[in-house]
Structure 1
Amino acid sequence: MVQPAMPPLPDSGAWSDRLARLLVRHHLLALLLGGLLVLVSVLGVLRVGYTADNRVYFGERNADYQAFERLGDIYALSETVLFAFVGDTDLCTPPVLEGLRDFTAEAWLLPDALRVDSIANFQHSESRGDEIIVESLIPEDGALSAAQAQRIKRIAETSDELLNRLISPGCRALGVSVNLVPEGNATVSRTEVARIARSLQAEWQDRLPGLRIHVSGTVIGDAAISAAAERDTRLLVPAGFACVSVLMALGLGTFSGWLGTTLVTLGGALATLGFAGWLGIALIPATAVSPLAVMVLVSASCVHVVLGWTRRIAEGQDRTAATVAAVEENLSAITVTNLTTAIGFLCLNFSESPPLAQMGTIVSLGIVVGWLLTVLALPAMLLRLPDLRFRPLRLSPAALERLAGFALNQRGILTVFALLFLVSLAGLAQIRFNDSPLKYFDESFAFRTDSDAIEAALTGIESVQFSLDSGAEGSVFAPAFLNRVDRFATWMRQQDDVVFVGSLSDIVKRLNHTLGDGGPGGHDIAPTQAANAQAMMLYELSLPAGLDMNQMLNIDRTQTRVVVLLRDVDGQAIVDFADTAEAWLRANEPAIATQAVGFGVAFSKLTQRNNRAMVYGMLTVLVLVSGLMILTLRDLRLGLVSLVPNVLPAIFGFGLWGWFVGEVNLGSTVVTTMTFGIVVDDTVHILTHYRRRRRHGLEREEALRQTFRTVGAAVMVSSVAIFSGFAVMTQSGFALNQHMGGLTALVIVLALLTDLLLLPAVLRRTNQ
């Protein structure tokens, strides 16, 4: 049935009419140009790879990470693999301890292994006459007796160097820690090391079926980063594509429009991956979902063109005239909306985290390609593909007109949104920053479940470290310095969440106890530097290869490293502990006051730094997009009015997130900047059509009714598609993508409600 045509409107501009006619007249050439554009972009896909290095999250100027790297240089630190034997009963039995000894020996066979530590090769010291004997706690060969097993358990459980690190209270868990050479000197990839470690875990799980063997560490975590990126690329991007494709089919009601939209969005998504390859960007979870973002955003422009085309067809125009009209009618608006969306993503380059900046760059490039394909290729497909139409699932034009009348005349809408604004402001105060690389993974990753099991049974995964300088003492063996270190270690052991503290003072006290050179009872720091140094020298001379003290002492023995392991902490707790420890040192031991460093510390502070950086990104987007809106609408007051439905959705979204979720991470911090350019899309289409009708002499209500009738369906279909695409991201096993997708989807829904309900009320209130 042919629908009655609306009153004709003047052209939005001679340039758009001429360009629309040119594109339709030479549609095959335009289609060819679009295809070549995609081909050149997509060739970069051949260069796309994944990275297993989570250090990419830090920029070169990140001071916290630089401090962590300097610590690694001083103490020859490296990546780690941590195995844990966990049981339900006492594991300090001869069979298990003999197995631990054999496992420790096999762990040395891991590629690039630099050091292996367990209670099996722990260098226990004792005196025999005038000699100090240093030997492995578990004899290197031979069967163990029950008495030997109990002796080993007693020594290990009473050692500050082992308890809650390599043995749990009650000996229900035992650990094996492997350090590897730095990645720059590695002979195999860390992903391959992780694979071999998993194979070792599986092999020994079969050999010791009564135990549960878990594996974690930085190498396993890095491999999980790569696996998460590959999984999201392999599963979420196709799932998002399928979801958007189905929604397009249901909402558009035309085969040619659906297929054209599908091909355009697919071209934009592939181009995004191609740009990642051309720019040499290795994919991690944050960048792996970039094609999905482009896919759903490009579909929005296609929806407006296709629905404009179907409306003209329904009014009785032929395909050529309908195509020209649809392109001309929407060309200006989709150009502005794609530009504002690209600007929003480009401003992610303000981010302190390179992957988020890279995501912003490749998504913005993908959006530009998608816009070009919408202009070049989509009209040709509307003209050439079979014109098969079916009944779409969307609101009828009459229902959209009634919605416009309701929004314009319902005076309580402003009150409702004002209350929502106040509730959202209160919700913002509930937000807590929480960034922990471990907590980024959900339970579908073995790295997460293994790490949780190790934390529950054996030790903490997150570490905070301090490099203490002997300063005026001139040596780490000076009694005054060692006593300061010991007081600091004692204080830290009393803090919540601290499960282990490793310090030089513990070793010196043990050696002095062995030699009888300490204070009363022979279990203290010796009163002279020479005595402490002598004890350490005797100890180091007895250490086997690979178990030296370089991870605790610098080369000239003027600095020492104190390691603190925290159990079951989030990012904010890590930062709070680091700040508290630094404050305690300044107040109580200013001579050795220093900075708390660690990967977890750097990562947790990165979110806070990134949040501050994105304020500048948000201000930049606000200025640029607002200026574009004013220029596009050619009306200062209307341009300022447009800020209301563009700024409020992010406030509403974060406020509600604060009430119902409470935690934000690195992915959350970019949502405001990212979504500002997205939510502008609907506002641009509504106000562009509204302004044209007002300039044509229509009254406010009639102009708004016709606007909703013209673009209301496209606004709703495109918003649902964008919402669905980002909602798919919440199914990622990686928290950064979950938060980014969830928050963006929430903001898109709120933006739709704001555009359809609040914007008309504001237009009435401001007499526009």
Structure 2
Amino acid sequence: MNHTRLDQAIAEWYAQRLLRFPWVFISASLLLFGLGAAGIPNTGFNASYRVFFGPDNPQLRAFDDFQAIYVQDDNVAVVIHHPNKPVFSNEVLASVRSLTAALWKTQYVTRVDSVTNYQHTQVMEDDLLVDDLISALPLTEESLHEKQQVALAEPSINGLLLSSDAEVTQVNARVLFPSLVENPNVASDIYGAVEQLVTHEQALHPDIDYRITGIVATNHAFAKTPENEMRTMLPIMIGLTILALALLVRSTWGVILPLFVVLFSIVFTLGVSGHFRILLTPVSLAFPQILLAIAIAYSVHIVVSYTRLRRAGSNREDAVRVTILKNLTPIFLTAVTTSIGFLSMTLNEVPPVQHLGILVGVGVLFTFVISVTFLPALLAVCPCGVKPMPATLSSAHPQQEWTVSLGRFVVENHRGLFYGLLFIVAGSSIFIARLELDNNPLNYFKIGTWHREATEFVDANLTGVTFTDYSLQSGQPNGITNPAFLAKVEAFTKYVSAIPEVAHVNSIVPVMKRLNKNLHADNPAYYQLPETQELAAQYLLLYTMSLPFGLDLTNQINVDYSSTRVTATMHKVSGKRHMEILDQVDGWVEANMPEVNTQGVGTWVMFTFLSQRVIHGMINSLMLALILITIVCVVTFRSLRLGLISLIPNALPILLTFGVWGMLGDHIDFAVSIVATAALGVIIDDTIHLLVRYQRGRENGKQRGQAFQHALHDVGHALLFTSIILVVGFGLFLLSDFRINSSMGAMISLSIAFALAFDFLCLPGILMKFDKKMANEGRSEAA
């Protein structure tokens, strides 16, 4: 079976053309690079939480419809706590008043609520007076105590703007975001403005602790966390890569040229994002580190093969020709399969995951092109200083001795290794059932980061940090003033308040009860809903006419007074528990007041439902990747058997990774939708390199064990090195404060490490068991 394979014939033809016209290949690759990089001026970044949801997402559309009725409710809040004084002290209240006034003047802010500007109502003679709860300072201790009691007795304040022990408060500013076209950095701009105000207050009141939270803070964290980490992790990874290349190839050009490939790949892909108008996100901004690892892995095979041939005495042209013959097919296959793995992410419903898949998929294909055009062409024309190995060492290859020993060991013990690793996978798979999806965006940041610390403080000391909104519909204009409808709103409010995780429920009910009491000479016995619709309508009209500009009830009542808003503020809960609460409330509404036609909406609701979509998207993308990769392998190997065999040592490591993750008791977020397909696309590379060389050995008459030993000896050292680079490259994501990236990096690193072990230790057993093309070979290779 010494016939020339089609892929080898193509590689031979290609190598001849490249050696004949190296500058043409260099110029063409640089031209392609320039065309891609030209899109860089059109790149942009989107840090909004809304980027995680496509335009057809039903929860996003429901939330947009809700906000169209009750105004946009994105916010930024400043949480204030004095370790030694209560909120109702002159010093703390002075800071609250100052921040309240300053936030009103901040760009994009449309409303500010605090304990100081809370619109307190009271009756004086026959007049209803509506005024700030704290209209002047300083106050006497007696007045401060009186004001505190008023605030603690008011449901609209207690548990929302003021902690139940009156030790912590917040100033909440509602903002109206402009379009991304108008200002793509609006969240960071608002955060920066609020941070300046806080810095000013901190200078005046150094003993007070200030924390910035809210949607604006979350968006700012989404923007700055990956940006800061790229500045840190990318240089570290480049430094480690330079060190590793220097140790492996011991050649200056062998270090410089792969770095060119990395730089070109990253810049080209960044330009592609601009050409396709793909705004970068905290998730897709991980593409440079991913491409760095993959590009180094591809170029290492070229450089290592070339330097080994030169050290063995080959001249420059022969070394380039043989390098292309040995590597063109496997690098092409690995590029195609890796690209398939990432491009299949386009079936995912999470746009940032789709974008990451597109960018890395396209970037990998460009990396292949630049690795087999620019890199070998440059090796053919540059005076790369590679000294031939002394004759006394040229035949020894000490660095390859471990591959010989390992190859002999795994072939001799292939049955025990195969079944042993299979048993380990089966045992670990049991723990997959322990994994729980949790897409709470507050958990996207590691414990100890500024944003996570601020939200955890609020959750523990002030109020909840997740919000679910309901729009209760009366079915007719002015219907919210109907006592029967208000009674339903009150019943709904009481039911939701009784849920243990609910910290506060805000509705129109306390306002109507307070007005009824005020207009009955502040008699506590009348702290109840008005008895008639006429009274309720009069109270509401009188109250709204007395409110200052910006503090009206448009955030709680729609224009024709036919529906009203109820907001449940919950402590941080898992996505599973939040879904249970949503179902529980929906069930109660269906049983008790189906006519109000309501369902929970909000940012946190969208992220909760995202968990279900993640699993669906992962299954679709994984199935597509498996089918396409199998087809590619079958066509390339011209063997259904080898095509299917190639999947076994790659599917098992992914199962083992999820099993280990479950064993550690960790939850998973939508990083899981990245891991399976991305890992499959990356880890199959080693299997392909081994199987290509294995198949060539078989076609040259070698038996199965001999063919595998030859393949491992030929490429094992490079595979070990590239796997280490990939493990370290993805492992660096563990340094990320953005938990999605750190989880993704950890799981893919584990998958790559496990896959290398399966390729080296388990693949021989799989080949011995399933690749029985020669009927008489079984007896000669009996173990």
Instruction: State yes or no: 1:371 paired with 2:375.
Output: no
The CA distance in 1 between the partners of 2:312 and 2:362, in whole Å, is: 36
Aligned to 1:405: 408
How far is 1:127 from its partner?
A: 2.3
State whether structure 2 residue 488 is matched by structure 1 residue 484: yes
Provide the rounded CA distance (Å) in 2 between the counterparts of 1:518 and 1:579: 40
TM-score of the two chains, using structure 2 as the length reference: 0.93
Instruction: For residues 680-727 of structure 1, give each alpha carbon's deviation from its aligned partner in whole angstroms, at most 9, with x where no partner exists.
Output: 111111111101111111111211111111111121111111111111
Report the alpha carbon displacement of residue 18 of structure 1 after superposing the two structures with TM. 0.9
Partner SS state of residue 177, structure 1: strand
Taking only the aligned residue pairs, the percentage that are identical comes to 28
Contact 2:705 2:764 in 1 (8 A): no
Which region of structure 1 is more displaced relative to structure 2, 423-432 or 58-67?
A: 423-432
Partner of 1:696: 700
**In 2, Cα distance between the equivalents of 1:572 and 1:735?**
19
**Residue 236 (structure 2) pairs with residue 239 (structure 1):** yes
Deviations 1:600-625 (A, max 9, x none): 11023213202212211111111110
CA distance in structure 1 between the aligned counterparts of 2:3 and 2:661, rounded to whole angstroms: 43
Kept in 1, the 8 Å contact 2:289–2:729? The answer is yes
- Indicate the SS of the match to 1:251: helix
- Equivalent-residue separation in structure 2 for 1:467 and 1:651 (angstroms): 44
- Residue aligning to 1:753: 757
Deviations, residues 147-204 of structure 1 (Å, cap 9, x unaligned): 2111110010111110111111221112111112242498893321110100111111
Name 1:91's counterpart in structure 2: 87
Match of 1:452 in 2: 456
Aligned position for 1:387:
385
Q: Which amino acid aligns with 2:500?
A: D
1:280 and 2:281 are equivalent in the alignment: no
Task: Give 1:367's aligned amino acid.
Answer: V
Counterpart of 1:109 in structure 2 is: 105
* Residue in structure 2 matched with residue 129 of structure 1 by the alignment: 125
Deviations 1:746-767 (A, max 9, x none): 1111111111111111111224
In 2, distance between residues paired with 1:692 and 1:50? 47
CA deviation string 1:107-156 (max 9, x = no partner): 211112211111111111122333322221112x3532222111110010
Q: CA deviation at 1:264?
A: 1.1
- Structure 2 distance, partners of 1:117, 1:240, is 46
SS at match of 1:183: coil
Q: Residues 114 and 179 of structure 1 are in contact (CA less than 8 Å); yes or no, is this contact kept in structure 2? A: yes
Check the 8 A contact 2:104/2:112 in 1, yes or no: yes
Work out which of the residue numbers 328, 342, 345 in structure 2 matches 1:345. Answer: 342
Structure 1 residues 540 and 446: CA distance shift in structure 2, 3 A: same
Counterpart contact for 1:50–1:229, Cα < 8 Å:
no
2:19 aligned to which of 15, 21, 24: 24
Which runs of structure 2 are paired with 1:664-675 in the superposition (5 Å)? Answer: 664-675=668-679
Distance 1:727 1:262 in 2: 20
Output aligned runs, 1:258-337, within 5 Å.
258-337=255-334
Q: CA deviation at 1:518?
A: 11
Aligned counterpart for 2:150 among listed residues 151, 155, 167 = 155
Long gaps (5+) in structure 2: 773-783
Query: Could you tell me whether the CA contact under 8 Å between 1:464 and 1:564 is conserved in 2?
Result: yes
CA offsets, 1:556-598, max 9 Å, x none?
A: 1111111111123343333332222222222333233521111
Aligned to 1:423: 427
- 5 Å matches for 1:652-671? 652-671=656-675
What is the alpha-carbon distance in structure 2 between the residues aligned to residue 396 and residue 618 of structure 1? 38
Q: Which moved more, 1:41-50 or 1:739-748?
A: 41-50
Aligned to 1:396: 399
Moved more, 153-162 or 256-265: 256-265
Which of 54, 65, 71 is residue 66 of structure 2 equivalent to?
71
CA deviation after TM superposition for structure 1 residue 661, in Å: 4.5
Whether the 8 Å CA contact 1:256–1:381 is kept in 2: the answer is no
For 2:710 and 2:250, locate their aligned partners in 1 and report how far apart those are by CA, in whole Å: 21
CA shift, 1:249, in A, is 2.4
Any conservation in 1 of the 2:478–2:560 contact (CA below 8 Å)? no
The answer (yes or no) to whether the contact 1:344–1:676 under 8 Å persists in 2 is yes
Instruction: Judge conservation of contact 1:232–1:289 (CA < 8 Å) in 2.
Output: no
Decide which of 598, 602, 607 is 1:598's aligned counterpart. 602
Match of 1:470 among 463, 466, 474: 474
SS of structure 1 residue aligned to 2:279:
coil
2:12 counterpart of 1:14: no
Offset of residue 348 of structure 1:
0.9
Following superposition, the deviation at residue 9 of structure 1 comes to: 9.8
- Please, which of 195, 198, 212 is the counterpart of residue 195 of structure 2? 198
Deviates more, 1:160-169 or 1:179-188: 179-188
Looking at structure 2, the residues matched to 382 and 345 of structure 1 have their Cα atoms a distance apart, in angstroms, of 30
Q: Compute the displacement of 1:239 (Å).
A: 2.4
What is the alpha-carbon distance in structure 1 between the residues aligned to residue 3 and residue 262 of structure 2? 30
Q: Which residue of 1 aligns with 2:77?
A: 82
Partner amino acid for 2:222?
I
Using the TM superposition, name which of 266-275 and 177-186 deviates more.
Answer: 177-186
Q: Distance in 1 between matches of 2:348 and 2:665?
A: 23
Matched, 1:214 2:179: no
- Measured at CA, do residues 566 and 469 of structure 1 come closer, stay the same or move farther in structure 2, by a change above 3 Å? same
Cα displacement (A) at 1:389: 5.9
Cα distance in 1 for partners of 2:457, 2:69 equals: 32
Cα distance in structure 1, aligned partners of 2:387 and 2:220: 48
| RMSD between superposed Cα atoms in Å | 2.4
Structure 1 residue 219, shift from structure 2 partner: 1.4
- Structure 1: which 5+ runs fail to align? 1-6
Q: Which moved more, 1:190-199 or 1:561-570?
A: 561-570
Q: Does the 8 Å CA contact 2:311/2:388 hold for their aligned counterparts? A: no
- In structure 2, the residue matched to 1:582 is 586
How many residues are paired up?
Answer: 760
CA 1:41–1:52 in structure 2 vs 1: closer, same or farther (change >3 Å)? same
Tell whether 2:738 aligns with 1:741: no
Alignment of 1:16-55 (within 5 A): 16-55=11-50
Report the alpha carbon displacement of residue 246 of structure 1 after superposing the two structures with TM: 2.3
Partners of 1:425 and 1:131 in 2: how far apart?
Answer: 72
Structure 2 counterpart of 1:664, one-letter code: I
Change in Cα spacing, 1:522 to 1:451, as seen in structure 2 (3 Å) is: same
The DSSP-based 3-state class of the residue aligned with 1:396 is helix
Q: 2 CA distance for matches of 1:283 and 1:233?
A: 13
- Secondary structure, in 3 states, of the residue corresponding to 2:441? coil
Once the two structures are superposed, residues 54-88 of structure 1 have per-residue CA deviations (whole angstroms, 9 ceiling, x without a partner) of 21111011111111111111101232110111122
1:749 & 1:582 partners in 2: Cα distance? 46
Length-normalised TM-score, structure 1: 0.95
**Residue type of the partner of 1:165?**
L
Relative to structure 1, is the Cα distance of residues 389 and 589 closer, same or farther in structure 2, using a 3 angstrom cutoff?
Answer: farther
Of residues 270-279 and 44-53 in structure 1, the stretch that sits farther from structure 2 once superposed is: 44-53
Counterpart AA for 2:408: G
The match for 2:775 is none
1:620 aligns with 2:620: no
The 3-state SS of whatever aligns with 2:165 is helix
| CA–CA distance in structure 2, aligned partners of residues 22 and 184 of structure 1 | 52
1:422 shift after superposition: 1.9
Q: Distance in 2 between matches of 1:209 and 1:291?
A: 42
- Which residue of structure 2 lines up, in the alignment, with residue 3 of structure 1? none
Give me the whole-angstrom Cα distance separating, in 2, the residues matched to 1:499 and 1:118: 18
